[in-house]
Amino acid sequence: MFYREAGDFKTSYVDDGQTFPIKFDRMRYYVVLAVAFGVVPFVINDYWASAVFVPFLIYAIAAIGLNILTGYCGQVSLGTGGFMAVGAYACYKLMTGFPDINIVFHVLGAGFVTAGVGVLFGLPSLRIKGFYLAVATLAAQFFLVWLFNKVPWFYNYSASGQINAPERTVFNVPVTGPNTDAWAKYMMCLVFLVVLAWVARNLTRGTIGRSWMAIRDMDIAAEIIGVNPLKAKLTAFAVSSFFVGIAGALFFSVYLGAVEVGEAFGINKSFLILFMIIIGGLGSIFGSLAGAAFLVLLPVLLKNLLVGTLGWPTDLAAHLELMIVGGLIIVFLIAEPHGLAQLWRIAKEKLRLWPFPH
Amino acid sequence: MPDQLLFAMEVTLNGLMAGVLYALVALGFVLIFKASGIFNYAQGVLALFAALTLVGLQEGQIPFAHLINAIFGTEVHHFGWHLPGIVAIALTVGVMVLLAIAIERFILKHLVNQEPIILFMATIGLAYFLEGLGDIMWGSDIKKLDVGLPQGISDTIDATTANWFGYGFFIDRLDIVATVIAALLVISLTLFSQYSKQGRALRAVADDHQAALSVGISLRFIWVLVWSIAGFVALVAGIMWGTKSGVQFSLSLIALKALPVLMLGGFTSIPGAIVGGLIIGVGEKLFEFAIGPMVGGATENWFAYVLALLFLVFRPQGLFGEKIIERV
């Protein structure tokens, strides 16, 4: 009834090309932003921040990054965990090397370092594609994790082999270290997510995003019509790794505080983020957010239900969670290969006609 | 002969044996990829699941005992029998065939004509599902697998090489058995696919799904067949690895070891899987032996991948893979 474009006249090209062409959608977007910035920080507590909100925001950044590479450019990567590790360690080295500079720049710097590493491991994509490439990115995953484990320079020769985030502040509010408030962590991640999602959305609908999609849909045809595959693939790797690196940096510095590389950035992390974009929807920014929310909430809900309510042992609940996640992925691939984002699109189409569908 | 050279020889031999085991897992991948174009990530978990089922049946564990206990508050654990190895293996083969039927019925049937990458992701989902299922059915503790395969250092080889070189090579008898079994498996699979009616049908499906359908080959039956064979290969691999290092979660990670083998050998070639397995096995053991101490060891985790990656840059279709020709 409210959700329709009738009467909402576009009088300029800018109006016509906007991300949310329907007025109701625009309003909803601003309301979500207002709630995220104006309400949640005041009511959030430690449990909600560390169990739901902060991991959701960080995984959403990583999922957008992977979605750029896999969903938009069609290059399947199983090395996300390794690239997150690059972001985390780069952030750590920058934080300890230049303690006077604001942490925001460290996180951004970590993103740029990861982008460089991503381009390096993206080079083989010019020769190989499909499964071969997917497996080749595993080389990045295993090699990087091994590197951060074995070369003491990366963890500043600490005895435990772990890296620990020292306390850093933004506007005199601590955002890393043990004295950080829940709302500060939340705000730090939220700002990064909102800015990065905005960047991603606008990149993917511009020239560069179109060249990615051309490569994804058919690389040879794209090359013939003048898309430079070298440029398209390597920019996709660079931008994707930049996002993933920032997610890794935040994951280490803001969320966990102390990281052991094999545990935090193992192969399972790569798969987890891949699942987020499959369930959420390949080639969709909203899908990345939805997938991240889904896979962050699912374990929390299952754990509360099975362990909290039914009193099952935790290991049993963990196994059941594996089964449910695996089963859900198959169900999604069969029922709706384009994920939650497609369900959302269908719902919106239906809403436009509601309540008179004929 | 100098000591270093002898060590290197021993390392090479052990690498060859390990390579055979990698090749066993890679073989399962190749079979499914050839017959259905599916890159089956779940192969390693299939091996884990098969080994878990084998141990569970052999020890007479009650399936889902943990779950039943949690729901009904009972205390059931074992049926109280102990099956001989061969019976348990036969039963496990049955379970793997049932699993193949279920996979075809519930997953593959619905995903006909989807893009390969979607099918690949479906097998990742399957891998997670089976991993959870295996743990819930049989428990997640580390189990000992013993179906009567010989184990321990081979005294004959130790004594012979001690005679020849004055230094006894340490080679596990299990590795020798594994090599023989892998060779037998490859020969019988090749014979099966070359000379039996079903084998011919299988190759026809691999060549062209639609043409095979139109001459009356049942695609669904072939898929069940091929997944059953892959399940059987997984069982063999599971027995070997399980006997070697116990049945536990890390067993499913051998699938990750088999991937570079596949890249090296090509996804569509059975000899490629064998040769690739041997190259990777020897390569990573020699690299660890020669370079490992200089860079802090544990290079086995990534060496295979980097080798395969560098190799692919020069020959994207692998050693024996078919040349990829693409048209717009």
Per-residue pLDDT of A243-265, as tens digits, reads 999 999 999 988 888 888 878 88
Q: Does B130 touch chain A (CB under 8 A)?
A: yes
Instruction: For residue B265, name the pLDDT band (cuts at 50, 70, 90).
Output: confident
The answer to whether the Cβ–Cβ distance between B305 and A333 falls below 8 Å is: no
Task: For residue A20, give how far its alpha carbon lies from the nearest alpha carbon of chain B (Å).
Answer: 29
Cβ-contact A34, A283 below 8 angstroms:
no
The answer to whether the Cβ–Cβ distance between B125 and A151 falls below 8 Å is: no
Give the residue among B166, B142, B140, B168 at the shortest CA–CA distance from B156.
B168
Tens of pLDDT, residues A180-232: 788 888 888 999 999 999 999 999 988 999 999 999 888 889 989 999 989 99
Which chain B residues in 166-205 lie under 8 Å from chain A, judged by CB atoms?
none
Q: What does pTM read for this prediction? A: 0.86
Which chain A residues in 47-66 lie under 8 Å from chain B, judged by CB atoms?
none
Task: Give residue A154's pLDDT.
Answer: 84
Q: Would you kindly state where each structural domain of chain B is located, as residue ranges?
A: 3-262
The answer to whether the Cβ–Cβ distance between B125 and A142 falls below 8 Å is: no
∠ Cα B278 B283 B284 (to 5°)? 110
Average pLDDT over residues B219-245: 85
Task: Give residue A199's pLDDT.
Answer: 93
| Continuous H helices in chain A | 13-16, 23-34, 40-43, 46-48, 54-66, 80-97, 103-122, 131-150, 182-204, 207-217, 219-224, 229-250, 261-264, 267-280, 285-303, 314-335, 339-353
Tens of pLDDT, residues A59-81: 999 999 999 998 899 888 888 99
Instruction: For residue A28, name the pLDDT band (cuts at 50, 70, 90).
Output: confident
Q: Does B125 touch chain A (CB under 8 A)?
A: yes
Q: Does B126 touch chain A (CB under 8 A)?
A: yes
Residues of A in contact with B128 (CB under 8 A): 322-323, 325-326, 329
Q: Would you kindly state where each structural domain of chain A is located, as residue ranges?
A: 49-353
Cβ-contact B237, B28 below 8 angstroms:
yes
Residues of B in contact with A322 (CB under 8 A): 128-129, 131-132, 135
Whether residue A318 has pLDDT greater than 90: no
Point out which residues pair with B153 in neighbouring strands: B172
Which of A72, A80, A146, A314 to probe the B interface (max B CBs under 10 A)? A146
Q: Which of B128, B267, B297 is the closest to A131 by Cβ?
A: B267
Q: Does B118 touch chain A (CB under 8 A)?
A: yes
The answer to whether the Cβ–Cβ distance between B129 and A323 falls below 8 Å is: yes
The answer to whether the Cβ–Cβ distance between A316 and B121 falls below 8 Å is: no
Q: Which of A128, A310, A333 is the closest to B121 by Cβ?
A: A333
Among A271-285, A302-316, B185-199, the range of highest mean pLDDT: A271-285
Task: Give residue B297's pLDDT.
Answer: 67
Two tokens at B217?
Answer: 């080959």
Nearest CA in chain A to B66: A316
User: How crowded is residue A282: how many other Cβ atoms within 10 Å of its Cβ?
Assistant: 24
Q: What percent of chain B has pLDDT over 90?
A: 1
The residue among B102 and B248 whose pLDDT is bigger is B102
Whether residue A115 has pLDDT greater than 90: yes
Which chain B residues in 24-63 lie under 8 Å from chain A, judged by CB atoms?
39
Distance CA A264, CA A260 (A): 6
Which of A80, A141, A142 to probe the B interface (max B CBs under 10 A)? A142
Report the top-level CATH class of A49-353: mainly alpha
Q: What is the mean pLDDT of chain B?
A: 79
The residue among B2 and A251 whose pLDDT is bigger is A251
Two tokens at B43?
Answer: 């192969």
Nearest CA in chain A to B118: A333
Whether residue A2 has pLDDT greater than 90: no
